[in-house]
Amino acid sequence: MSIQPDLSAAIGHTPLLRLRHASALTGCEILGKAEFLNPGGSIKDRTALGLLLDAERRGRIRPGGSIVEGTAGNTGIGLALLGASRGYRTVIFMPETQSREKIDALRIAGAEVRLVPAVPYKDPNHYAHQARAHAEAANAADPGSAWFANQFDNTANRDWHEATTGVEIWQGAGGRVDGFVCAAGTGGTLAGVGRALKARNPRVRIALADPAGSALASYVNTGELIASGNSISEGIGSSRVTANFDSAPIDLAWSIPDDESVPLLHRLLAEEGWCTGGSSGVNLAGAIRLARELGPGHTIVTVLADAGTRYQAKLFNPAFLRGKGIPVPDWLARAFPAP
């Protein structure tokens, strides 16, 4: 074992887990990068670290300054924890529709949380625009006092995943990677990992698993941003092409409905003991689809992005699931019987 000097050094180097059911189902080796094991509980710790290190190198944040970001939660948690460890304040703008567990985690981490209505990106009241405006106002009053992380369009996000996450996956799998698949929110993970793997083997297939209600799969397949349906997944999907997503080398894309993805994460917990969030279910569904596309004998890697405990009131609430038309497994119904 090694001794890590601070929080930053503890981020990353997560294991690859063999996912037994998905592997047996497809005849492929399906591996999940266990990003829920990061200090802040998600892959967004990596994103936060990459953005912050880039800002520090470029002199865009001064000692004791404020980190400002608009986020569905996980990037904010990573930024807040890093801020606490490096002497920064953190101000987070977040849609009020996000899970109570993530909102509470942000506040526990010391962030100032400003909940705002969930509106489309084109609306000036969108959480990302409000975060940018807050940073600009702070800097107008006190130049250099605030840094807007801008995770969606700051390509330091993509670059950090290319330099770290993608390299770890290649090395962890011993260079035996035939396909990689994950969902996109900012697009940083998909673009960065895709670029890293393609640089090492151009034949690696890169796929997007898009939740219903997002327009990104449509964009990849048709060139048009058309969304249909909806999803209970948080933090993934988009109605626009971000600067990070724009550079992703995507070969295939699918729209994944909740009644396909959520049962997979329930089964992953009940049979293999991994408690993961909604995006991991979408990713796992995408990995199974990609495995079937490539055929038996291939190695497919995906991301287990965060822990299911951040979404307990939705993903593990039988009444909520029934209201959304999502199957409730017997073990979950027994654990939380109707009153």
* Pick among 3.40.50.720, 3.40.50.1100, 3.20.20.10, 2.60.120.620: CATH of 43-148: 3.40.50.1100
How far apart CA 194 and CA 209 sit, in angstroms, is 13
How far apart CA 32 and CA 29 sit, in angstroms, is 10
Is pLDDT of 158 > 80?
yes
How far apart CA 269 and CA 257 sit, in angstroms, is 19
Q: Which amino acid is at 263?
A: P
pLDDT at position 73: 84
7-37+165-325 topology per CATH? Rossmann fold (3.40.50)
Sequence-ordered strand ranges (E) for 9-63: 16-18, 29-34
- Domain spans in the chain, listed from the N-terminal domain onward: 7-37+165-325, 43-148
* Residues annotated as catalytic (active site), given as ranges: 44
Sequence-ordered strand ranges (E) for the chain: 16-18, 29-34, 66-70, 89-95, 112-116, 146-148, 179-182, 205-211, 252-256, 299-304
Is pLDDT of 1 > 80?
no
Residues pairing with 212 in the sheet: none
Q: Averaged over 335-339, what is the pLDDT?
A: 87
pLDDT at position 338: 83
Same fold, 7-37+165-325 and 43-148: yes
Q: Averaged over 182-209, what is the pLDDT?
A: 98
pTM exceeds 0.75: yes
Segment 293-323, tens digit of pLDDT: 999 999 999 999 999 999 999 999 999 999 9
How far apart CA 297 and CA 26 sit, in angstroms, is 9
Q: Averaged over 275-299, what is the pLDDT?
A: 98
Is pLDDT of 165 > 90?
yes
The two three-digit tokens of residue 186, written as one number? 């900012």
